[in-house]
Structure 1
Amino acid sequence: MAGSHGRQNSSSDDLRDDVRDDVEAALDLDGLPSRHLDWPDCRNARDLGGLPTGDGRAIRHRALIRTDSPHRLTEQGVAAVHAYGVSRVLDLRRDIECERAPSPFAGTPLHCHVPVQNPADPDHEWLTLAEIYTAMLDLRPQLFATAVAAIADAPPGGVVVHCAGGKDRTGMVVAMALHLAGVETATIAADYALTEGRLAEENAATLEAVTDPRIREIMRGLQPTPPEVMLTTLEHLDSTYGGVASYLERGGFGADRARVLRDRLVG
């Protein structure tokens, strides 16, 4: 048994190395046209259009956009969102975050508030980033399924998905939507990794403002977005639930709606 277990681990490690090689090859995704969007003053807005799917197609342009909190948007930025053909702004933040940094779309038909955490959920600051992601997913499959459903069920037009920084909660919801649309794991992880550069200036300022050295180091460890974090997260869904689709089915998002999502996103 021990020998068999060792061979299994070796096979798994080899597969992971192959995926990492694919991630390295996919890290030039930043060069795709129309990726980063000039929506003043959002810092981390990008169109996921152009990301290739495994069957040779691609995510439609202006279909799915990820961004940081839109509370920073100027009037020009709000106008740019409308001009982009956005039909839904999916807000994943907690109620308290929405109160502290109100969305300019709150109270309008565009705004769809689907927090993926309950107020009593722990923050897990002591865990690694991948452990935080998997803990959140394990705790709230119904909330994450509702968020993915909000993309599938949106009116015709583009869907903006955001949390506070457009990194963690946004990263998980977008990753699951892209996976259902047929985007390869390596490509999803490579896109996730782009966020780190977009938030570098803001992250540095945040660290500088923290006076407690212990808290500063915890925050420093949670700021990067290495592709391995998303690889680990998706591997967790595979090993624990049988994949993204099976995980979301536990939350009430079934195969029929997954097809609707795929048809919506893939050109």
Structure 2
Amino acid sequence: MKLDWPGCLNGRDVGGLPTADGRRTRFGALLRSDSHNRLTAEGIAAVRAAGIGRIFDLRWARETAREPSPFADDPVYRNAPLIAELAEQGTTMPDAYRTMLDENRRQITGVFVQLSDAPPGPLAVHCSAGRDRTGVLVALALSVAGVPPESIASDYALTEGCGGDTILRTLAHLDDRHGGAFTYLTKGGASRAQLRQVRDRLVS
């Protein structure tokens, strides 16, 4: 469901996706978007009105310094870089998300754990374009929630300029090399209880 956040191009609620056991992801649980620094005054007001429990800004420190979040001083805001800070890169190449997962497991898991520990209310995650880092974290969260790869890919394909094949390849690599999302995250330091907390938060 598209979010009416003026200034954000890729804002949407990932509720309503089917899970393998016949349930659905909960609306108002996980919201994804591009960077909040683009929000208009109306967009900022809309985010505040949504009752967000935690905002996770997945960008690097240098990005947040260059384009600060309008919520940087709010208690709900956390800058939580998803991957190690590297040179600027375009990451929709077929293998880029795989490399992201392979080389940043502990850092990615550390951010994921923060999803489980967040206070009540919607979780809002964003990077710069709302595509790559956001796409990987949301794919992991939806996998833990039991959403099948095809449905995760269909959601990802709603992102401007993206196709579902990128996420399907990423999830296949996650299974083949790391044993799936649960194994990837537990080996990265997450507990099974923390994974259950994320699943229970996302699934109605």
Please classify the TM superposition score into its range, dividing by the shorter chain length.
Answer: over 0.9
User: Residue 191 in 1 paired to residue 128 in 2?
Assistant: no
Report the counterpart of residue 151 of structure 1 in structure 2. Answer: 115
Report the counterpart of residue 164 of structure 2 in structure 1. Answer: 227
In 2, Cα distance between the equivalents of 1:171 and 1:117?
A: 13
In 1, Cα distance between the equivalents of 2:88 and 2:171?
A: 20
8 Å CA contact retained: 2:92, 2:166: no
After superposition, the Cα gap between the structure-2 partners of 1:128 and 1:49, relative to the gap in structure 1 and judged at 3 Å, is: closer
User: Residue 135 in 1 paired to residue 72 in 2?
Assistant: no
Q: Secondary structure at the match of 2:53?
A: strand
Return structure 1 stretches of 4+ with deviation > 2 angstroms.
121-125
Give the percent of matched residue pairs that are identical in Structure 1 and Structure 2.
Answer: 47
In 1, Cα distance between the equivalents of 2:199 and 2:82?
A: 22
- 1:76 deviates by 1.6
Task: Find 1:170's aligned residue among 117, 129, 134.
Answer: 134
- 1:254 deviates by 2.2
8 Å CA contact retained: 1:245, 1:254: no
In 2, Cα distance between the equivalents of 1:139 and 1:101?
A: 26
* Per-residue CA distance 1:153-197 (angstroms, 9 max, x = gap): 11000000100010000000000000100111100001000102x
Report the counterpart of residue 100 of structure 1 in structure 2. Answer: 66
Report the counterpart of residue 248 of structure 1 in structure 2. Answer: 185
Report the counterpart of residue 41 of structure 1 in structure 2. Answer: 7
8 Å CA contact retained: 1:114, 1:143: no
Report the counterpart of residue 175 of structure 2 in structure 1. Answer: 238
8 Å CA contact retained: 1:130, 1:230: no
In 1, Cα distance between the equivalents of 2:173 and 2:19?
A: 21
- 1:124 deviates by 5.7
Q: Secondary structure at the match of 2:72?
A: coil
Give 1:233's aligned amino acid: T
Structure 1's unaligned 5+ residue stretches are: 1-34, 197-223
In 1, Cα distance between the equivalents of 2:16 and 2:30?
A: 10
Q: What's the Cα RMSD here?
A: 1.4
Report the counterpart of residue 14 of structure 1 in structure 2. Answer: none
Report the counterpart of residue 68 of structure 1 in structure 2. Answer: 34
- 1:117 deviates by 2.1
- 1:75 deviates by 2.2
Of Structure 1 and Structure 2, the greater helix share is in 1
- 1:49 deviates by 1.0
**Rg larger in 1 or in 2?**
1
Give 2:130's aligned amino acid: G
